[in-house]
Amino acid sequence: MPASDFSAQEYADRIGRTRVAMEQRGLDVLLITDPSNMAWITGYDGWSFYVPQMVILPVKGSPLWWGRTQDKAGAAQTTWLDTSDLLDWPEEHVQHPDHHPVDSLVTVLQDRGWTSSLGVEMDNYYYSAASHRILERAFGVLTDATGLVNWQRAVKSNAEVDMMRKAGRLTAHMHEVLRGAFREGLPKNQLVAEVQAAGIAGLPGLAGDYPAIVPIAPSGAEASASHITWNDRPLTVGEATYFEISGCYRRYHCPASRSLFLGNPSDDIRRAETAVLQAIDDALSAARPGATCEEVAACVYDSFARAGYVKANRTGYPIGLSYPPDWGERTMSLRPGDTTELQENMTFHLMPGLWTPDWGMAITESFVVTAAGGVPLADIPRELVVKPA
């Protein structure tokens, strides 16, 4: 995701919003470790999040990229930062038992006088307990700034929505390949390979990237669990399979789930399909600016209740720019009790999935909030895909 994908003004606006939030929290410096947030602020893109790395954002002045020496060239190629703002830690500290890269970060911060009012993304996949211990020993109590940048990403620019629509075209292409290849006796891993290849090969003029989550693809009783990936078991008559997949374009995602069935679906599965499809229609109609997350979610729970089903988990979350292991933005949720108001150009993955003890069904939509309601970001047939035995 090269920084050139967005204008200099867009990056300035992103930093400006983040700094307002920093000032509201009393922060002088924010240490950003989430690679999605790092990319959103600077454009940095690289598979380097398995070692310590950060974007250091002071309330004034240019952001700094700090990472492994071997990754500094990648930062020069993908960010908009001046090379003087790219800082590296000693290569010999890579997974070394006696040295930690954050020891050198302490020196960077001390040399610039940034020794107080520091914020860190404490509840984050990429910020380790060891890193926190070193920083806390050097600077005392740190402010938990988890989600501070994530919330600034909630309302997408038009350029970001365009990226997500392109990802949606890739998602639709993947589902088209899935529908065509789905057949009795085909080992699941072979089907997944075809779908993955389609998403990465992309379409003319639209190359795919790796998604933040691998395909979720359970069949039959496996589908009673919500996050099973795949195996080599052949597709079997009488089983429902759902696929949760996403195209990815310049790190922007557009996930969508669809369910498929070999043979004749039971009345119970057809009843669930009707409830899910109605839930999607109702939720999209409600997803207008000013509506709350829980009001949109209620459309799903009400549709399920009318059909005799109980859904005990959330039914959606915000999406956009992301890296493994998750394409969600980890802020609001479509669920009871979340009174966050929707704004135009927010983007969500609506997840009206059903999981019973014997089978599961997931038909989902990624959408953008507009004055007319939620508008899907991909054009994919929603109905249960049925292939006769």
Per-residue pLDDT tens digits for 254-272? 999 999 999 999 999 999 9
Q: Over pLDDT 90: what percentage of the chain?
A: 93
pLDDT at 135 over 70: yes
Give the pLDDT score at 54. Answer: 98
Task: Determine which helix (DSSP H) or strand (DSSP E) holds 373, and give its type and residue range.
Answer: strand 373-376
Measure the CA–CA gap between 316 and 351, rounded to whole angstroms.
Answer: 5
pTM for this entry = 0.96
By three-state DSSP, how is residue 171 classified? helix
Cβ of 15: how many Cβ atoms within 10 Å? 18
pLDDT digits 0-9 by tens, 1-17: 566 789 999 999 999 99
pLDDT of residue 1: 52
CA distance 229 to 188: 10
Mean residue pLDDT of the chain comes to 96
- Fold that domain 3-152 belongs to in CATH: Creatine Amidinohydrolase; Chain A, domain 1 (3.40.350)
- The CA distance from 380 to 68, in Å, is 42
Return d(Cα 91, Cα 101) in angstroms, integer.
9
Phi, psi for 351 (deg, rounded to 5)? -120, 70
C-alpha to C-alpha distance for 102 and 200, rounded to whole angstroms: 35
Q: Which two tokens stand for residue 288?
A: 């207008």
Confidence of residue 388 (pLDDT cuts 50, 70, 90): confident
pLDDT above 70: residue 239: yes
Pinpoint the residues of the chain covered by CATH 3.90.230.10: 158-387
Q: Residue 66: in which H helix or E strand, if any?
A: strand 64-68
pLDDT at 98: 86
Q: Quick one: DSSP state of residue 346?
A: B
Q: Confidence band (pLDDT; 50, 70, 90) for 226?
A: confident
Q: What is the pLDDT of residue 312?
A: 86
The CB-based long-range contact list for 364-367 (8 Å cut-off, 24+ gap) reads: 364/244, 364/255, 364/256, 364/257, 364/280, 365/256, 365/280, 365/284, 366/164, 366/168, 366/171, 366/253, 366/254, 366/255, 366/256, 366/319, 367/284, 367/287
Domain with CATH 3.40.350.10 in the chain: 3-152
pLDDT tens for each residue of 43-97: 999 999 999 999 999 999 999 999 999 999 999 999 999 999 999 999 888 888 8
Residue 320 backbone phi and psi in degrees, to 5: 165, -120
Going by C-alpha positions, the residue among 34, 128, 110 that lies closest to residue 325 is 34
Per-residue model confidence (pLDDT) at position 2: 62
pLDDT (tens digit per residue) in 284-327: 999 999 999 999 999 999 999 999 998 889 999 999 999 999 99
Q: At 208, phi and psi to the nearest 5?
A: -90, 160
Q: Are 279 and 304 in contact (CB under 8 A)?
A: yes
Mean pLDDT is lowest, of 61-70, 246-255, 352-361, for 352-361
The pLDDT of residue 4 is 76
d(CA 114, CA 112): 5
Q: For domain 158-387, is the CATH number 3.30.450.20?
A: no
Whether the pLDDT of residue 336 is over 90: the answer is yes
